[in-house]
Amino acid sequence: MWLDQDLANFMSSPVMIILGTSNDALQPEIGRAVGALVRLDGEIELVLSAWQWPGTLSNVRANGRLSATFARPSDYVSYQVKGHAVVVPPTEEHRAGAAAYIESISAVLAELGLEREVSAPWLVNRDLAALSLSVDSVFVQTPGAKAGQMLQGGQ
Amino acid sequence: MTIRLRDLAPCFEGVIPSIIATAASDGTPNISYLSHVQLVDDEHVAVSNQFFSKTAANMRANPTAALLVVDARNGEQYSLDVRFQRSVESGELFQEMAVQLRAASAQIGMADVMRLRGIDIYRVEAIRHVPSPIGKAVFLPAASPQLSAAAEIVRRLSEETEIGAIIDAMLDGLRDRLGLANSMALLMDPTGERLFTIGSRGYEHTGIGSEIAVGIGVIGTAAAERRPIRVSDMSRVRRFGSAIRTSATEEHRTRTIQLPGMPDAMSQIALPMVAHGVLRGVLFAESAKRLAFSREDQAVLAIMAAQAAGAIALSESEAVESVAAPASPPDSSPAGRPFRVVHHAYDDSVFIENEYLIKGVAGRLLIHLLRRYLQEGRTEFTNREIRLADELRLPDYKDNLETRLLLLRRRLEDKGAPVQLVRVGRGRIRLALAGSPLLNDEHR
């Protein structure tokens, strides 16, 4: 599925990235990503700490189901993408992207009054892993009347 | 170490947004920020539900969810496995969250967007600390949910003006907000020698009017010492009060109402109710569990007992100041069957239709009111005129009239007697008669 350029730009900007997976018993699990490489053909590579979020990784390995919400801290503009993912080996690009993301999002949060010591536990790059997500659908998640509305994709 | 929900209180301040993940019946996850998660008690959280419709749909199909909450002080993250219990669209918790949400939303200019539709209550089944590069989680002293419960109970009882309603608000609060199913409140007798039960919860019979001597048992000792008494293992402690369980027929013979109590109580706690430096009564709770009451419980109950004592003292003094009511016209004769009332002057015990009702001051009061009714045909009386009545002859009476009338009213209710005492406004009462009383005053 092709992604809109504006949406791709948004997802690549310093926004919070949260990940939802579920295991085979349908117990959901939450994780955080530290960076996204967004390709317009609908592939998003999400980088996360395997040390911090082992459950997210094992769920993706088990069934591939992955949803990710991108939320801009300054105005709560949010989009959720859903699709199927595989675990891929992290590359230098992923590592560099994670370092740049952590630096830029920390700065954004600090500007909003959140000290770096407080955001540090969410922005961890220890033992990096990467998930390659093929997006099937995109939803508006910004609080308001349009929340939950499908933007792209779907059956 | 096991993390308790109450240890995570700083995560529920609404400072750092929480996250919720759900899964549809086909397993498709949904992940979303949440504006507000609130701590309900040690097992439950409440989640505001304004707009995440997909989350709500998933919850109906698959009630398991995950929450991620963040300690606003240090950013530490906690992952909660939760299970949907129910949605709530009104009530105290809903109102509290709605107000908080309105305030928070107004701050970020989204007051119209974030209208609270309902709150969802989840049971928390597991809590895990998310690995953190900073090190181990440090729990700073967290606020206790009991303290919030105490604040709510105190708020409710401070809305009440009448002693009976104050007592009820306290005992209902203990049961509904602190989970203390078995409790009672006793007030001091004007003689200062005994306490009498004015309200109870969780017992087979209410025991309204039952008495315990100051200095006897857990309750009497708390009164005598004016200190909280806490017993965490009753198995080797002799039961206070009467060891013999008196039956209803015993009640008539002994002219004593049985004190309510759990036969298998293992833990008991009694708190003195003091206001203006005067002991007003005792608040008591018990449980079949060992070590049921912690020091924290004791502190919370002590606050409640003191608040109730203050409210009761105020209610008493306001009743003293209340103005006389206009004289009511004589009532027509009640339609029902006449009933026999026997009064024994030596202890002022009163029997109605051969059933023991009450003795002492409360008994004398009832007889006084019935006599006035028979002489004047009046059913409505002011506290002031009762207080001034010569035949009631009590020097230290004035500060306790309200509680005496309350005791009499509740005992009459409890017995389903053909005469009832109705409060018709501050400082005024009315006799509600099912039939004409046949007063036998000769048993002296």
**Same domain? B298 vs B199:** yes
Cβ atoms of B197 and B221 within 8 Å: the answer is no
Residue A22 has its nearest CB partner, among B27, B73, B108, at B27
Q: Which residue of B has its CA nearest to A27?
A: B64
The whole-angstrom distance between B135's CA and the closest CA on chain A is: 9
Domain ranges in chain A?
Answer: 5-145
DSSP state letter for B398: G
Q: Is A141 on the interface with B (CB under 8 A)?
A: yes
Is residue B327 in some structural domain? no
Largest separation between any pair of C-alpha atoms in chain A: 43
Q: Which CATH superfamily is domain A5-145 in?
A: Electron Transport, Fmn-binding Protein; Chain A (2.30.110.10)
> Is residue B132 located within the same domain as residue B241?
no
What pLDDT score was predicted for residue B262? 82
- Say yes or no: B42 and B62 in one domain: yes
Determine, yes or no, domain membership for B331.
no
B231 has pLDDT over 90: no
Model confidence at A80: pLDDT above 80: yes
Mean pLDDT of chain B: 82
What is the spatial distance between Cα A62 and Cα A26, in angstroms, rounded to a whole number?
12
Q: Is A121 on the interface with B (CB under 8 A)?
A: yes
Instruction: Kindly tell me if the per-residue pLDDT of B119 is higher than 90.
Output: no
- Chain B CB contacts of A63 under 8 Å are 27
Give the lowest-confidence range in A98-112, B111-125, B158-172, B318-332: B318-332
A30 chain-B contacts, CB cut-off 8 A: 19-21, 31, 66-68, 79
pLDDT of residue B243: 38
pLDDT per residue over B59-95, tens digit each?
778 999 999 999 888 899 999 999 999 888 888 778 7
Which tokens hold the place of B121? 């209550």
Count of domains forming chain B: 3
From chain B, the residues in CB contact with A122 under 8 A are 70, 75, 77
Cβ of A121 within 8 Å of Cβ of B134? The answer is yes
**Residue after which a domain boundary falls, among B268, B288, B321:** B321
B123 and B200, same domain (yes or no) = no
Instruction: Say yes or no: B170 and B248 in one domain.
Output: yes
pLDDT band at B239 (very low <50, low <70, confident <90, very high): very low
Tell me what the mean pLDDT of segment B341-368 comes to. 91
**Confidence band (pLDDT; 50, 70, 90) for B240?**
very low
- The pLDDT confidence band at residue B143, using thresholds 50, 70 and 90, is low
Nearest chain A CA: its distance from B41 CA (Å): 23
Q: Which of B276, B298, B321 is the last residue of a domain?
A: B321
Q: Is residue B104 part of a domain?
A: yes
- pLDDT band with cut points at 50, 70 and 90 for residue A142: confident
Contact A27 B32 (CB under 8 A): no
Which residues of chain A neighbour B133 with C-beta distances below 8 Å? 120-121, 124, 126
Q: List CB contacts (< 8 A) between B78 and chain A.
A: none
DSSP string, A17-65: EEEEEE-TT--EEEEE-S-EEE-TTSEEEEEEETTT-HHHHHHHHHH-E
Q: Tell me if chain B has a CB within 8 Å of the CB of A68.
A: yes
Domain annotation covers residue B55: yes
- Looking up residue B402, the CATH number of its domain turns out to be 1.10.10.10
With CA atoms as reference, the chain A residue closest to B109 would be A75
A136: closest CA of chain B, how far (Å):
11
CB of A118 within 8 Å of a chain B CB? The answer is yes
Each residue of B283-302: pLDDT tens digit?
A: 999 998 877 888 888 889 99
Range of the domain at B236: 146-321
Is the CB of B54 less than 8 angstroms away from the CB of A21? no
Q: Which of B142, B158, B189 is the last residue of a domain?
A: B142
Please tell me if residue A58 touches chain B, with a CB cutoff of 8 Å.
no
Residue B281, in any domain of the structure: yes
Exposed (0-12), middle (13-18) or buried (19+): which is B245, by Cβ within 10 Å? Answer: exposed
Q: Are residues B391 and B346 in the same domain?
A: yes
Residues B152, B212, single domain; the answer is yes
What's the pLDDT score for residue B31? 94
Whether B21 and B90 map to the same domain: the answer is yes
Q: Which of B166-170, B295-299, B377-381 has the highest mean pLDDT?
A: B166-170
| Residue B238 counted as domain residue | yes
The mean of the pLDDT values for chain A is 92
CB contacts, 8 Å: A22 with chain B: 21, 23, 27-29
Q: Does residue B203 share a domain with residue B124? A: no
Check whether residue B137 and residue B202 sit in a common domain. no
Q: Is residue B95 part of a domain?
A: yes
CB within 8 Å: A28 and B22: yes
Query: How does pLDDT run across B307-322, given as a tens digit for each residue?
Result: 999 999 998 877 665 5
Q: Which residues of B130-193 form beta strands (DSSP E)? A: 182-188
Chain A environment of B57 (Cβ under 8 Å): none
**B137 and B150 together in one domain:** no
Give the CATH number of the domain where residue B299 resides: 3.30.450.40
CA B85 to CA B308: how far, in whole Å? 34
Residue A99 contacts B where some CB pair is shorter than 8 Å: no
B64 neighbourhood in chain A, CB within 8 Å? 25-28
Q: Is residue B268 part of a domain?
A: yes
B168: phi > 0 → left, psi -120 to 50 → alpha, else beta; which? alpha
Do residue B264 and residue B350 come from a single domain? no
Point out the residue among B31, B76, B81 whose CB comes nearest to the CB of A20: B31
> How far from chain centre, in Å, is Cα B164?
11
Is A124 in the B-facing interface, judged by CB distances under 8 Å? yes
